[in-house]
Amino acid sequence: MDITVQWIKTSWTTQSRGGEASVRRNAAPLGFSLPQVPSGFAHFVRMSERDGFEPRSGQKNLREVGVSLRDEGDRLRVLARMEPLFGLPPRPRKPLAVRLLSGQRIRWQLNYRFTSAPGIRGWSYWLDTFNIS
């Protein structure tokens, strides 16, 4: 089974929650043209506030990607990994697995909100977008 994964990680702080910075952040693409990547790897794109949301492209081993992928014969089981993070508010719910038939695709988005410690630094955020087929 051929599996194609693109992982887009967008990160920002409260400085990009409004005004011009949020316009740039919200204009960031949800998908990119796929370069050649070896089997077992994902196309990884990072965009961050500190870089003006300019895309930085690379590769990640599929074992490092924030989704679990399992070949179930005629279907690909996709399950988002909800790591025990320090994000607030706590979100104990876990999304259900999605099973894709050959030729199907999914775009799955997970957003996170973090603080380092109360009163020391402000909030930071990230959005993981997974394009999988």
Give every CB contact of residue 92 below 8 A, 6+ residues apart in sequence. Answer: none
**For the whole prediction, is pTM greater than 0.75?**
yes
Cis ω for the linkage preceding 55 (within 30 of 0) = no
Q: Tell me the three-class secondary structure of 20-42, residue by residue.
A: HHHHHHHCCCCCCCCCCCCCCEE
- Cα–Cα distance between 63 and 93 in angstroms, integer? 23
At 54, which amino acid appears?
A: E
**Beta bridge partners of residue 79, listed in sequence order:** 68
Question: What tens-digit pLDDT sequence spans the chain (133 residues)?
Answer: 689 999 999 998 888 877 887 888 888 899 999 999 999 999 999 999 999 899 999 999 999 998 899 999 899 999 887 655 555 555 555 667 899 999 999 999 988 877 766 666 678 888 999 999 9
